[in-house]
Amino acid sequence: LVFTEEDKYGLYSNLLFKYFLAEGVLCGHDLFVASAKEHPDNILKELPAPLLDDTSRNGLGEETAVKSEDFQDSMKIAWRYQNLPKMEASPTTSTKFGHYYDVSKTMSPELYESIKWHSFFLPEELSSQTQMKTCNMNSAYARLLQSIQRIIYQEGFDGSDPQKKQKNILRIGIQSLGSILWGDDVCSSDTPEDTHSLTKFLYVLRGLLRKSLSACIITLPAHLIQNKAIMERVTNLSDTVVGLESFIGSERETNPLYKDYHGLVHVHQIPRLNSLICDVSDTKDLAFRLKRKLFTIERLHLPPDLSDTVSRASKQDLAESAKLLSSGCGAMAIGKKHLGF
């Protein structure tokens, strides 16, 4: 269960959501797309186009190689730094993991129509059936759980039963869960019976995922939920928790520390399945940027101080920003090769 905290305007979290679904299409997995805001058919039509030809990947690799050569030439001048260990901002192009996508183009209909996919659009579900409510859970969550459970059992993803056909994986994508569009006002005291609907839904969903051949990604507008206790429960009920912080409309948009990036990635929790502790990386400062074609997540580095006229105040501001970044509660090295999960 991958839980993603949406950025303020939902731009980059929606892109990460589509990356997860696009990787499932290329791997031949079955898809289950649920949303209360955007119709699943439109979501599939907007999946990024894969870079299947070697020429595109080679072009990206050559560009990276040229930059690395220029970097080595420039480092010959700084002799005192030659013996320092090299640090790559992102994984090298020689290590291939998953697939690469061009965000400037959309996937061809032939690709996503070649796999089996299921949709859940809340307005259609509410209009076609009578209202229902079970276990102090709102009707939207109850319907979604029943739909997921039905697909798992009917399509052969139940791990407890012997598989009668070739095994496959079900990728579940739930968009903007916990928003008011799902009929769930988490912080409202007017409906105290629905206060625990979100956590109950995640608890049941996690049980379904554990005993089935399925994986799920959920985006949630965490900035709209001001209750820290609920967010801690949601974190504990998830395996991977990642937060996206966009620089749009914030002071960091003009901060020189972040001039090459569009936002920060906060890794709050990583999986620790079948173990007492999780693997902890030495990389805590992660940032993302959206290029013309690629969406990449890289290690955040301080920009070089090439001017002697930089005031002490600006240097102190950069140092304070670096301290804030390093105070993250989780660590995980994520590169652009992990965008396919």
- Residue 191 pLDDT level (bands cut at 50, 70, 90): low
pLDDT for res 98: 76
| Residue 335 predicted with pLDDT over 50 | no
d(CA 37, CA 8): 16
Mean pLDDT (whole number) for 202-224: 93
Q: Which amino acid is at 130?
A: T
User: Where do runs of H (alpha helix) occur along the chain?
Assistant: 11-27, 40-45, 54-75, 109-112, 122-128, 139-154, 197-210, 228-236, 312-326
More confident residue, 280 or 318: 280
* CA neighbor of 336 nearest in space, from 70, 96, 104, 165: 96
Contact between residue 238 and residue 249 where contact means Cβ atoms under 8 Å apart: no
pLDDT for res 120: 96
Contact between residue 3 and residue 230 where contact means Cβ atoms under 8 Å apart: no
Mean pLDDT (whole number) for 200-208: 93
Question: How many helices (H) and strands (E) are present in the chain, helices listed first?
Answer: 9, 11
pLDDT tens digits, one per residue of 257-293: 788 899 999 998 888 777 777 666 666 789 999 888 8
Q: Which domains does the chain have, with CATH numbers?
A: 2-53+98-237 (3.40.50.300)
Mean pLDDT (whole number) for 235-262: 88
| Residue 32 predicted with pLDDT over 60 | yes
272 — phi, psi (to 5°)?
A: -135, 55
pLDDT for res 329: 41
Mean pLDDT (whole number) for 31-42: 95
d(CA 150, CA 138): 19
| Residue 228 predicted with pLDDT over 80 | yes
- Residue 328 pLDDT level (bands cut at 50, 70, 90): very low
Mean pLDDT (whole number) for 155-163: 78
* CA neighbor of 34 nearest in space, from 124, 113, 100: 124
DSSP annotation of 232: H
pLDDT tens digits, one per residue of 125-142: 888 765 565 667 888 999
More confident residue, 325 or 247: 247
Average pLDDT, the chain: 78
pLDDT for res 196: 82
* CA neighbor of 159 nearest in space, from 150, 168, 147: 168
Report pTM: 0.76
pLDDT for res 115: 92
Mean pLDDT (whole number) for 302-311: 56
| Biggest CA pair distance of the chain | 74
- Residue 9 pLDDT level (bands cut at 50, 70, 90): confident
pLDDT for res 195: 67
| Residue 194 predicted with pLDDT over 50 | yes
- Residue 119 pLDDT level (bands cut at 50, 70, 90): very high
pLDDT tens digits, one per residue of 38-93: 999 999 999 999 987 654 444 454 444 444 444 454 445 455 555 555 555 554 44
d(CA 152, CA 208): 8
| Residue 301 predicted with pLDDT over 50 | yes
pLDDT for res 273: 73
| Residue 169 predicted with pLDDT over 70 | yes
DSSP annotation of 182: G
